[in-house]
Amino acid sequence: MTSQQKLKNKTDQNLHICVGLDTDIGKIPEHLKSMQNPVLEFNKIIIDSTYKKSAAYKINFAFYEKEGIAGLENLERTLELIPNDILTIGDAKRGDIGNTAKMYAASIFDHFNFDAVTVNPYMGIDSVEPFIQYKDRIIYVLALTSNKSALDFEKLRLTDGSFVFQSVIKKVNEWNTYKNCGIVFGATNNEELKKNISSFKNLSVLLPGVGAQGGSLEDVVKSFNTIEHTDYIINVSRGLIYADNGKKFGKVAENVLDEYNRKIASMN
């Protein structure tokens, strides 16, 4: 099954929430910290509690790389816990050129076997092309991100009056020959989303920023409903996996996910 089909199978069921496994040992429940592998145990409970109702899982490499080899082993073991029919996203934000980009792509897709990846287009097509060549995977290119300093570069105006992020979206559409490209568009940018959503065309969209960062689930869903675009997933990390710090944190996470799904269903 291709990554595109995995995702479509979920969005066809009106499942649009991507669970972000940005696991920080300092934030997990205290009762897990005495276990042999607290991070893996935490991830297992979150996955077991949410996989039936999630569209995808996104793993941010930074939260694992910081622990060196042990952290990368936890990343691999976490991937093994995720059912094969659910999209996995390697949130690595790679962005280099030439053979280096090829090696990064091989790492993400051949070694770790992620279904999708986030990449930085700052260096142009050379930094994205090696990923695109994996036709059965999804390449999410950073367009307009959810952080406040996105305006430093992404919202700079070009000589034609458009913004840099708009130029990125245009380019990604051009690169989408194999129908495996997508964009990252921060849910905190509601006005920009409404104004630019028609330019997404056939691109898959990953939207971080709902929950702890202040993005509105309802605003996102309304925007996509206006153009009947269903190929989108909304990432929720801290607001879901750390919703409770007690022994029933898995159940609480499931309840939070249920509420997100209920809201989406009520709007469709």
CB 4 within 8 A of CB 85: no
Q: Which residue has the tokens 């919202």?
A: 155
CA-based max dimension of the chain:
58
Q: Choose the catalytic residue: 8, 93, 171, 251.
A: 93
Helix H, strand E, coil C: the string for 144-186 is ECCCHHHHHCCCCECCCCCEHHHHHHHHHHHHHHHCCEEEEEC
Show Cβ contacts of residue 177 under 8 Å, excluding neighbours closer than 6 positions.
Answer: 132
> Which residue type occupies 71?
G
How far apart CA 229 and CA 231 sit, in angstroms, is 6
93 flagged as catalytic? yes
Q: Please give the positions annotated as active site.
A: 93
